[in-house]
Amino acid sequence: MSTSEDDGAIEEALRTVTPLSTERPNLQMNVVGYLVLLPILFLLLPLLPFAVLYLVLSKGAKALRG
């Protein structure tokens, strides 16, 4: 149950010199994330057929065993 006394306690706990910031997109961090993602994709994409082949063979071997 919220009372006016509780609201005053919250406002006192948030004492700060700078104003509170609002959430907004961070373009610089997005660019860094994409720059990290691209080399990972270029390195792992050629390995994808081998991973699929392994999965198919392992499921086939499991089906043959019973």
CA distance 51 to 44: 10
Summarize the confidence of residues 11-37 as an average pLDDT: 86
Give per-residue pLDDT as tens, 33-52.
999 999 999 999 999 999 99
Confidence (pTM)? 0.45
Sequence spans of domains, the chain:
25-66
The pair of structure tokens assigned to 9 is: 């306690």
In 8-21, which positions are buried (b, 16+ CB within 10 angstroms) versus exposed (e)? eeeeeeeeeeeeee
DSSP H helices in the chain: 4-13, 27-44, 48-65
Nearest one of 8, 11, 7, 9 to 20, comparing CA atoms: 11
